[in-house]
Amino acid sequence: MKKAVITETLDEQCAAWLAERCEVVWHQHDAPGLDAQLADADALVVRTYTKVNDALLDQAPSVKVIGRAGVGLDNFDLPACEKRGVRVVYTPDANTQAVVEYVFGLILDHIRPRTPLEPGTTAQAFHAIRKTEVGVELADLTLGILGMGRIGKRIATVAHALGINVLGCDLIGEADIRKQLPGVPFDFVDHQTLYMNSDIVTVHTDGRPDNKHLIDAEALSHLRDGAMLLNAARGMLVDHAALVAWLDDHRAALAILDVHDPEPPAEDHPLYNCVNAVLLPHLASRTDTALRNMSWVVRDVVAVLEGKEPTYPAV
């Protein structure tokens, strides 16, 4: 049987399916002895924290395919894989629904505060909550979507259904995006226009090197004083030092970061001291369905091992 090494968590059902077709070895990516397991491996299954680069590939001379149980490929040196003839497969649409639901949950948590009644709440306290917790309707807001890929387009669709005014920005041409969003109105604008005219900016661009610190001091300077900035994509997209300075100067603003660079953030990360920053432990894709969808990358891993063309190849 072919040998497949799994270096991070994987759904039990998907791992069992793989084990029926391969010899499966579990070995944590940062545990000693991984090189010995990779020496005769035919396949490798990873998630977020295994760095697939020349150093790892040197330890895996027989590996024919590497499966990324997830969407982003930021932890892969794809040219190095291609140079060695190693196929890379992944699950690009596995967590779209989960991330979209999460983003709107974060938005609603902020604009529609909901304080539950405690046992023994007095009539006075009851009416005080009703008077003070007055929210904002989504239909009164403009949502700027930075990055109109799979997740960005789904967010635009949901936003339209909720009556939100939508601005979008992407490297992809406007005509191509509109073809994929029939019946969903939005204004396709440049970065600066999006920043200046959005009540909420949600970031969904990819992790290409050119996007590092896409949200920098210059970008932040164009945001509205009370804007909400959401990043549930990649930590490297935001210049955290610039964000700290901007939040200190704009106390009515709010930044919600589900992803970080590095991850996890250091215990003394300056954003922890910003009263208008919320740091979350990378939860956007953490649903049972999304995690299982990502783990089914093993289907494409086996396809490559059997000499078939995978459904979702990256290389």
Q: Cβ-count burial of 189 within 10 angstroms (0-12 exposed, 13-18 middle, 19+ buried)?
A: middle
User: Per DSSP, what are the bridge partners of residue 116?
Assistant: none
User: Which among 21, 213, 222, 282 is annotated as catalytic?
Assistant: 282
The amino acid at 4: A
The amino acid at 279: L
User: Which among 12, 137, 218, 263 is annotated as catalytic?
Assistant: 263
Who contacts 7 (Cβ-Cβ below 8 Å, separation ≥6)? 27, 28, 29, 34, 44, 45, 46, 47, 50
Q: Identify whether 240 is a catalytic site residue.
A: no
Q: Identify whether 234 is a catalytic site residue.
A: yes
User: Which secondary structure element, helix H or strand E, spans residue 257, and what is its range?
Assistant: strand 254-257
User: Which secondary structure element, helix H or strand E, spans residue 109, and what is its range?
Assistant: helix 96-111
162's tokens: 């909720």
User: Which among 29, 68, 234, 260 is annotated as catalytic?
Assistant: 234
- Check if the beta carbon of residue 138 is closer than 8 Å to that of residue 104: no
Buried b or exposed e, range 123-157, using 16+ CB within 10 angstroms:
eeeeeeeeeeeeeeebeebbbbbbbbbbbbbbbbb
Q: Identify whether 263 is a catalytic site residue.
A: yes
First-to-last alpha carbon distance for the chain, in angstroms, is 24
CA 284 to chain centroid: 7
- Give the residue numbers annotated as catalytic, written as ranges: 234, 263, 282
